[in-house]
């Protein structure tokens, strides 16, 4: 079975350390899913390419552009999400937050998620638990226990680089276990999370329309 994994990278420069970390996690995830006998289809979305769409959506009262609507549907349809942001002013970037502000509140129900962040110094490492984890908990996603933080010094071949690789592998293993289990639970033993998620991108309009006469039932139209 092919698992669709969406990677959201909020880096602003090109190349960026945020994208480097996102690619490292994606590669580890593909290997871990492959080790479980399944295939990972990885798609990366650079949020800087959505900046104008997100700004337009916010300025028009939440009406998404066609491009943003497509991205929202991809997010809700994914089997798992890898979300990576640079740290700005001790938290996730504004661009990163704008995307999640634009999602429907049911868009990530029970979605397996790896949270990750990059910064110039390890002093920002608490951003994972103080900012990112609460955000995804609010959206009812299933965040893996291991978050991945990378400071500039971690992108090397020394001990720091080895520690980062170990964290990436551990997070990818936890993530792959959730993703593979999502649609293959054995009755009576492992719950089928896929039946419980009921995600909604919020893009498609409901096909159920309440008749206008029913809405006005019992109302005479006269002032009381």
pTM for the whole thing? 0.84
Inside any domain, residue 223: no
User: Average pLDDT of 93-121?
Assistant: 96
4 and 78 Cβ atoms separated by less than 8 Å = yes
Asked if residue 95 has a cis previous peptide bond (ω within 30° of 0), the answer is no
Does 220 reside within a domain?
Answer: no
Q: Tell me whether residue 28 is in a domain.
A: yes
Q: What is residue 203's predicted lDDT score, i.e. its pLDDT?
A: 74
Question: What is the pLDDT, as a whole number, of residue 189?
Answer: 41
Q: What's residue 71's pLDDT? A: 97
Say how far apart CA 16 and CA 10 lie, in whole Å.
9
Token pair 């480097």 in the structure block, residue: 20
Cα separation values, 71 from 4, 12, 57, 114, Å:
14, 18, 13, 18
What pLDDT, on the 0 to 100 scale, is given for residue 188? 39
pLDDT, average across residues 152-163 = 80
Structure tokens given for 86: 């640079």
Do strands 80-88 and 142-143 pair parallel, antiparallel, or not at all (unpaired)? Answer: unpaired
49-64: average pLDDT: 95
Average pLDDT on 16-23 reads 97
Residue-level pLDDT at 17: 96
Enclosing domain of residue 116: 2-215
For 113-154, give the secondary structure using H, E and C. Answer: EEEEEEECCHHHCCHHHHHHHHHHHHCCCEECCCCEEEEHHH
Determine, yes or no, domain membership for 65. yes
Question: Which residues pair with residue 91 across a beta bridge?
Answer: 88
CA distance 38 to 132: 29
Domain-located, residue 222: no
> Residue 221 falls within a domain, yes or no?
no
pLDDT, tens digit, for every residue of 166-212?
999 999 999 999 999 866 544 434 444 444 457 877 776 555 666 76
Q: What is the pLDDT of residue 201?
A: 77
Q: Is the pLDDT of residue 221 over 90?
A: no
Question: What pLDDT, on the 0 to 100 scale, is given for residue 56?
Answer: 97
Least confident window among 63-67, 131-135, 181-185: 181-185
- What's the full length of the chain, in residues? 224
Domain membership flag for residue 141: yes
Q: What is the pLDDT of residue 136?
A: 98
Distance between CA atoms of residues 140 and 123, nearest Å = 28
Domains of the chain: total: 1
- Tell me the percentage of the chain whose pLDDT exceeds 70: 85
> For position 6, which CATH number holds?
3.40.50.360
How do residues 68-102 score in pLDDT, each as one tens digit? 999 999 999 999 999 999 999 999 999 999 999 99
Going by C-beta distance under 8 Å and a sequence separation of 6 or more, which residues neighbour residue 87?
93, 117, 118, 119, 124, 127
Average pLDDT over residues 31-54: 97
Is 128 part of a structural domain of the chain? yes
pLDDT value of residue 135: 98
Closest by CA position to 79, among listed 1, 186, 166: 1
Q: What is the DSSP letter of 5?
A: E
Model confidence at 30: pLDDT above 50? yes
155: region left, alpha or beta (phi > 0 left; psi from -120 to 50 alpha)? beta
C-alpha 170/C-alpha 144 separation (Å) is 10
**Assigned token pair, 51:** 């900046």
Average pLDDT over residues 18-46: 97
Question: Mean pLDDT score of the chain, rounded to an integer?
Answer: 89
């Amino acid at each position: 079975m092919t698992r669709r994994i969406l990677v959201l990278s909020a880096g602003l420069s090109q190349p960026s350390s945020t994208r480097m970390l996102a690619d490292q996690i994606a590669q580890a995830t593909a290997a871990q899913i492959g080790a479980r006998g399944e295939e990972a289809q990885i798609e990366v979305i650079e949020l800087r390419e959505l900046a104008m769409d997100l700004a337009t959506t916010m300025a028009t009262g939440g009406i998404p552009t066609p491009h943003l609507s497509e991205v929202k549907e991809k997010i809700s349809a994914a089997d798992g999400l890898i979300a990576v942001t640079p740290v700005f002013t001790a938290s996730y970037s504004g661009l990163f937050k704008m995307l999640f502000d634009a999602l429907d509140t049911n868009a990530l129900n029970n979605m397996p998620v790896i949270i990750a962040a990059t910064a110039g110094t390890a002093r920002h490492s608490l951003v994972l638990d103080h900012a990112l984890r609460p955000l995804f908990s609010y959206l009812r996603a299933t965040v893996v226990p291991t978050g991945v933080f990378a400071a500039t010094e971690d992108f090397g071949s020394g001990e720091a680089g080895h520690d980062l690789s170990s964290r990436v592998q551990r997070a990818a293993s936890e993530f792959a276990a959730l993703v593979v289990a999502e649609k293959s639970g054995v009755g009576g033993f492992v719950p089928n999370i896929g039946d419980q998620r009921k995600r909604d991108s919020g893009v498609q309009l409901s096909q159920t329309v309440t008749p206008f006469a029913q809405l006005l039932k019992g109302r005479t139209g006269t002032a009381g």
